[in-house]
Structure 1
Amino acid sequence: MSQTPSRLTTASGIPVVDNQNSITAGPRGPVLLQDFHLIEKLQHFNRERIPERVVHAKGSGAYGTFTVTHDISRYTHAKLFSAIGKQTETFVRFSTVGGEKGSADTERDPRGFAVRFYTEDGNWDLVGNNTPMFFIKDAIKFPDFVHTQKRDPQTNLKSATMMWDFWSRAPESLHQVTMLFSDRGTPDGYRHMDGFGSHTFSLVNAGGERVWVKWHLKTQQGIKNLLPEDAARLAGSDPDHAQRDLFGAIAAGDFPKWNVFIQVMTEAEAATWEARTGWNPFDLTKVWPHKDFPRIPVGVLELNRNPVNYHAEVEQAALSPANIVPGLGFSPDKMLQGRLFAYHDAQLYRVGTNHQHLPVNRPRCPVHHQQRDGSMAGSAGDPNGSSAAQNYAPVDARGSAPQGFGHGDAGWPLDGAAARYDERGESDDFTQAGNLFRLLPADEQERLTSNIANAMRGVPSDEIRLRQIGHFTKADPAYGAAVARKLAEGGAR
């Protein structure tokens, strides 16, 4: 039996008499301004696109569940980890980083891997990538770095010169550059890649004891990457390959899963490890070797429900690493500290003042605060409850007796003068990049150096080329020699 179509109305619920013909002065006359349905339809159409993200513009998303499989209560009192078998609703957004919203899913680029946990204490957003490290260690460099990955302001084209000039002057990027130009720089969709919180975070237990932690999500589907020629072919034939693969798998009931792990480092271990290795445990360009800090299993993340409306649930999803819950915490990681401000600020600009009211962003627990008004505010969509709720916090003359950061976290001991510190002269930017190169099988090393040579062919400056080859050579002589040879031969073989 056929269903009766829903009655078409304006956004205010007024029935639309005719959706095919504008009101005109006579059959051939000009259109009248009083045709409100026409005006509303065109006005909304003109405003259908919100500003795309500056980075991570193109992405895919899905809902799922996180299930605790191992007890980590010795490290954290966060309620979502309180019992084995406990489940928490999640939302995950995957993305490419440098390209625009219409770019291809298969471009050589890091992939965003952002997980929201809708816990009983509020939203926890683990906003990371598919790599355990990053290009830079201080957020003050981030706008400059991203500009080099975007379009040249004169030609409006991507510029190999800009990219390699920046990387050659910032040897801290070498570790991530090595990962980016390896096979893992072009993952085969989102289901077949790992995820990482990347930054150093912290956990606090019921006794107020803190440990430093890194988060790992290991795909149960197995790692699958695309060869450069396959990535290029798909960019032309199916630029939405990763979106299609993820949506189709979930729709077919083939739910992707990731095993969730943590690496744990005590404060005492942080001091001794840095003294032994020279590596700052809060440096985002570095990783913690598994032999020093083994992975500890925590749970399983499963994606099992596709969004119904992409714009409402994926495009308007607004995640931020500043969203943590009691039992979790931050670290002195300089990049993380910058992101704690930058992400929420970007969402205020991109989505709106009250973006937390949108269903995908709304916590699944009661919310009470004194934030009021602004664009799109209203009691019907306001998780804060009635608009008549008190709009200020009363001041207690006795104070609040604050202790540390709150939620049992005693805070960090600080040492030294407040100043700008340049660590470049004392930082080891080469050992871990060399370790990664030596870890790769010979065929992957060959593809890595070919990919780099191909990417550097568009750099006309010998100075930039030589500076970058010098970094590869410091990481491993064979690494630098292979890139230099392939560049001298006119590109990759």
Structure 2
Amino acid sequence: MADKNSTNGSSPKPSTQALTTNQGRPVGDNQNSVTAGRRGPITLDDFQLFEKMAQFNRERIPERVVHAKGSGAHGNFVVTHDITKYTSAKLFSKVGNTCPMFIRFSTVGGEKGSADTARDPRGFAIKFYTEEGNWDMVGNNTPVFFIRDPLKFGDFIHTQKREPGSNLKSATMMWDFWSLSPESLHQVTILFSDRGIPDGYRHMNGYSSHTFSLINAAGELHYVKWHFKTNQGIKNLPVEEAEKLAGADPDYSQRDLHHAIERGEFPSWRVQIQVMPESEIDKFKYNPFDLTKVWPHADYPVIDVGVMTLDRMPDNYFAETEQAAFNPSNIVPGMGYSPDKMLQGRLLSYPDAHRYRIGTNYDLLPINARKNAGANYNRDGAMRFDGNYGSLPNYEPNSFGGPAQDPRYTERPYTTSTTLEKIARYDHRENNDDYTQAGDLWRLFDEGQKNRTAKAIADSLGQTPLRIQKLQLSHFKKADAEYASKIASLLGKDQHPEYLHGPDAAELPAAARLPEK
């Protein structure tokens, strides 16, 4: 339960203290990463992003800083449909191909001992042990996320953890951040809807959320989003039942998964993709690489790829589930990335976090090790427990027959935009619609789900200062007038229309540059 009194509810006072890096360099923009053009990838000279990410990754030992509470299982993936026109990856070279895989489900914000039934997104991370190396799909049970720029990731996660002073969870921290970050509205709507509390891990979908790419044998690139649709059917927990289970059986989701596999009721998911040709990225109605938005299925229908089935629990939880390390940069030939800013940040953040949490050689642990043969020039490091490549040379190029590069596997260049722009910190909220998709989702709900979603939001938002309530209600109104009015009514603000117009500009911090829709 969030602490109603935590975080000072008074209006923010102008700060006279300059924001700086750890070394004292003044910061001019703490809201936007440096990118190669408005839609372009993040560049390596963004020292501020890397400092924030590296610092954030080292905040907790030894549990994961996010996704600390998790459950894992082994299984197999089978290709059921031909997608060779999109990718040259050997795994998809013919229908019927199979590969072993390991999955780790998790909650996101809670500590390792927290309840499985919290209102929280669920992690959905899969490691495919293919013949060309490991392919990791690190996603969630929602197709979008709260933010679109990785510079804000540590800030966001802090709001889901504990307040520095009281060490209590704080609704004020969460809604303060969300109200000042309207790009979160789509994910917030999902989180407080019926799907905010899945009934265990077997009855929820998974999504890559990020946009990746596939490259075929002709070198043609298509951008894709991955979907994992549960064959068990979607089931969610009512709030009252979730709260009871949090006390009676905090390991409910893990127990459900374990017992189902023990009974031989092997859970499975249909693996699907949405496909966007590279030539269409500038023709789409918004940035296709924006993690806060979905691709409408009417525009880009899902295409079946295969089936994933879980049939074995780990022999040892620590050795497998706890030490499993997933990395979105682990892809195989025939696959690629995209200019998705959040994905670009995770390509750096995930392996950095693993090296800190588990060690330099985390990818040699059995649960993380590739199943195919391979060799490179990476050597030494703490806990190197294999032969360390013996007396083979540890440099390249060399004339002693060490492993050599193969130009056939050079990464295929990809397009970020047909418009060349300067490398700079672009305001990700400028000319960006953060309300339509959240409103569209609200309008899909039936009356019962609308009422339950509004109540869940009002119960949480009602614990915050009035200025935060006013700002957040103004966002709901921009998404859908009914959305705002139902919540305002539950908060007792429906007779005060001024609450739907947001706070005065003087009540907002300088970072909250909110564009009008």
TM-score range, shorter chain: 0.7 to 0.9
In structure 2, the residue matched to 1:64 is 75
Whether the 8 Å CA contact 1:77–1:205 is kept in 2: the answer is yes
Q: Is the 8 A contact 2:125 2:137 kept in 1?
A: yes
Q: Distance in 1 between matches of 2:319 and 2:380?
A: 21
Partner of 2:271: 260
Q: Of residues 294, 297, 300 in structure 1, which corresponds to 2:301?
A: 294
Residue 392 (structure 1) aligns with: 395
Q: Distance in 1 between matches of 2:291 and 2:385?
A: 40
SS of equivalent residue, structure 2 residue 423: coil
**Deviation at residue 391 of structure 1 after TM alignment:** 1.2
What is aligned with 1:322? 329
Alpha carbons 1:212, 1:267 under 8 Å: kept: yes
Given candidates 360, 363, 385, the residue that maps to 2:367 is 360
Report the secondary structure of 2:174's partner residue: helix
- Give a deviation string over 1:297-353, Cα, whole Å, max 9, x none: 000000011100000000000011011110011000000000000000000000011
Which one-letter code corresponds to 2:63 in the other structure? E
Aligned to 2:467: 463
Q: Give 1:374 shift.
A: 1.1
CA deviations on 1:388-408 (whole Å, 9 max, x unpaired) are 222111169xxx9998x9546
Q: CA 1:401/1:347 → structure 2, altered by over 3 Å: closer, same or farther? A: closer
**Which of structures 1 and 2 has the larger relative contact order (alpha carbons within 8 angstroms, sep 6+)?**
2
1:339 equivalent among 340, 346, 350: 346
Supply the AA of the counterpart residue of 1:207: A
CA distance in 2, matches of 1:408, 1:484: 52
Residue 204 of structure 1 contacts residue 408 of structure 1 at CA under 8 Å; is this kept in 2?
A: no
AA aligned to 2:478 is K
Whether the 8 Å contact between 1:207 and 1:408 is mirrored in structure 2 is no
Deviation at 1:441, TM superposition (A): 1.1
Residue 378 of structure 1, CA deviation: 2.8
Aligned residue number for residue 290 of structure 2: 283
3-state DSSP of counterpart to 2:236? coil
Aligned to 2:457: 452
Does the aligned pair in 2 maintain the 1:206–1:408 contact within 8 Å?
no
Question: Which residue of 2 is the match for residue 25 of structure 1?
Answer: none
> Equivalents in 1 of 2:426, 2:147: separation in Å?
15
Alignment coverage as a number of residue pairs = 429
Instruction: Choose from 83, 88, 91 the match for 2:94.
Output: 83
Contact 1:58 1:96 in 2 (8 A): yes
Q: Distance in 2 between matches of 1:423 and 1:70?
A: 38
TM-score normalised by structure 1 residue count? 0.85
In the TM superposition, 1:112-261 aligns within 5 A as 112-261=123-272
Answer yes or no: is the 8 Å Cα contact 1:60–1:314 preserved in 2.
yes
Contact map agreement 2:79 2:94 (CA 8 A) in 1: yes
Quick one: which amino acid aligns to residue 172 of structure 2?
T
Distance of aligned partners of 1:154 and 1:366 in 2 relative to their CA distance in 1, 3 Å threshold: same
1:50–1:420 distance in 2 versus 1, CA, 3 Å: closer
Q: 1:410 aligns with which of 397, 409, 413?
A: 413
2:458 alignment partner, SS class? helix
Whose Rg is larger?
A: 1
**Structure 2 counterpart of 1:115, one-letter code:** I
**1:438 corresponds to:** 443
Task: Give matches, 1:19-34, under 5 Å.
Answer: none
The residue number in structure 1 matching 2:66 is 55
Measure, in 2, the Cα distance between the counterparts of 1:395 and 1:140.
40
Q: Percent identity?
A: 59
Cα offset, 1:50, TM superposition: 6.3
- How far off is 1:250 after superposition? 0.8
Contact 2:339 2:416 in 1 (8 A): no
Q: For residues 384 and 416 of structure 2, what CA distance do their matches in structure 1 show? A: 40
Cα distance, 1:252 vs structure 2: 1.3
Residue 52 of structure 2 corresponds to which residue in structure 1? none
Show the counterpart of 1:5: none
Distance 2:362 2:85 in 1: 35
Structure 2: distance between partners of 1:117 and 1:68: 12
Q: Give the equivalent residue in structure 2 for 1:26.
A: none
Where does residue 508 of structure 2 map in the other structure?
none
Residue equivalent to 1:14 = none
- Distance in 1, Cα, partners of 2:310 & 2:158: 33
Q: Judge conservation of contact 1:116–1:319 (CA < 8 Å) in 2.
A: yes
Question: Please, which runs of 5 or more residues in structure 1 have no aligned partner?
Answer: 1-48
Q: CA shift at 1:269, angstroms? A: 2.0
